[in-house]
Structure 1
Amino acid sequence: MPKTLPERIFFTIVMAAIMVYGMIVYNVALNTGGVTNATFVMALHEMPIMVPIACVLEFFVVEKLATGLAFMFMRPTDRPQFITYAISLMIVCIMCPVMSLIATVLFKEPGFGTWVHTWGYNMPMALCWQMLYCGPLARAIFRLVFRRGAKQAD
């Protein structure tokens, strides 16, 4: 996983782009009544707005907070993959309500009820998307780009 600042920046951008695109596709599908080929294109229109917001939130606020929360029930001696899953879970628990609020303000009729409704619809999808697809894909891309091995340790 990321150890240097450039690696952290790269990983954050990749993770945010994949996560945000998937969630936008989901919300466009909800708003249009289903998934069509056009859904995937329509989702691209919100990307320039939502990806930078997600990157800034994740990089400067959520990562440290989520890590702290995860280590409230994890130990440094636990299996690294479980620590990764715990941090990912905490990131979703923080990012989903915040990004749902931002999307509600920017793209919907702003209101408390609208935000709660949006958050309620997004949370199950965000958890599944992050834990089953987005997280593993982003980590695979990271490992592909930043190959570490015995040769690099020399």
Structure 2
Amino acid sequence: MPKTKFQGIVFTIMMVAVMVYTMICYNISLSAGGLTNQVFLTAFHELIIMGPIAFILEIFVVGKVSHFLAFRLVKPNDRPIFILLAISSMTVCLMCPAMSFIATLLFKNAGSELIAVWLQTSAMNFPMALFWQLFFAGPIVRLVFRTIFKKSLIIAERA
């Protein structure tokens, strides 16, 4: 969807902010035994740490690998929705365990149970991350992105 490097960076920042903030809220809620108003405020403290980590991971590793894996499932001439779903799904498949591992290291105090806590965290996060990405975050971020870059995207499509 982004046509330039700048647009790609803006899109990644938007997607990371929405996905990471939501997943932090989800994990805090799991730990606290439920969602409260305080969770939304507490999540901002972790977002300052996890947001840049997710951005760097996405830009330098996951973005390239998820596209490679997605295009092993779909072809460039397939319907755009199938390409979008393949890329989004592969991104979640890579980002979820990676970010769960980082969160486990930074916030879970797992000690000698690091692998077990990481696997449990990944298993709890994956369904939420996939559902949120495919049905909410992805469509909302793409809508906002298209709105912001409407003119330049139209020009790029005509060229």
Interval of TM-score (by shorter of Structure 1 and Structure 2)? over 0.9
Structure-1 residue corresponding to 2:61: 61
1:149 matched to 2:151? The reply is no
Distance 1:73 1:151, change over 3 A: closer
Q: Which residue of 2 aligns with 1:82?
A: 82
Shift of 1:149: 2.5
Q: Which runs of 5+ in 2 are unaligned?
A: none
- The one-letter code matched in structure 2 to 1:41 is L
Alignment of 1:8-27 (within 5 A): 8-27=8-27
Task: Map 1:1-154 onto structure 2 (within 5 A).
Answer: 1-110=1-110, 111-147=114-150, 148-149=153-154, 153=158
Greater helix content: 2
Distance verdict in 2 for CA 1:152–1:131, change over 3 Å: closer
> Higher RCO, 1 or 2 (CA under 8 Å, sep at least 6)?
1
- Cα distance between partner residues in 2 of 1:69 and 1:131: 17
Residue pair 2:88, 2:134 contacting (<8 A) in 1 also: yes
Superposition deviation, residue 141 in structure 1: 1.2
Identity over aligned pairs, percent: 51
Deviations 1:62-104 (A, max 9, x none): 0110001011110111011210110000000000000000000
Distance across 2 between alignment mates of 1:106 and 1:10: 27
- Displacement of 1:152: 8.4
What root-mean-square deviation, in Å, do the aligned CA atoms of Structure 1 and Structure 2 show?
Answer: 1.5
Stretch moving more, 74-83 or 91-100: 74-83
TM-score by length of 1: 0.96
Residues 3 and 65 of structure 1: CA distance in aligned 2, closer, same or farther (over 3 Å): same
- Aligned residues between the structures: 154
Residues 24 and 79 (structure 1), Cα distance of their counterparts in 2 relative to 1, 3 Å cut:
same
Measured in 2, the distance between the counterparts of 1:85 and 1:151 equals: 22
The superposition leaves residues 37-78 of structure 1 with CA deviations (integer Å, 9 ceiling, x where unpaired) of: 111111111011001000000011101100010111101110
TM-score by length of 2: 0.93
Q: 1:8, 1:150 → 2: CA distance?
A: 16
Instruction: Give the 4+ runs in structure 1 shifted more than 6 A.
Output: none
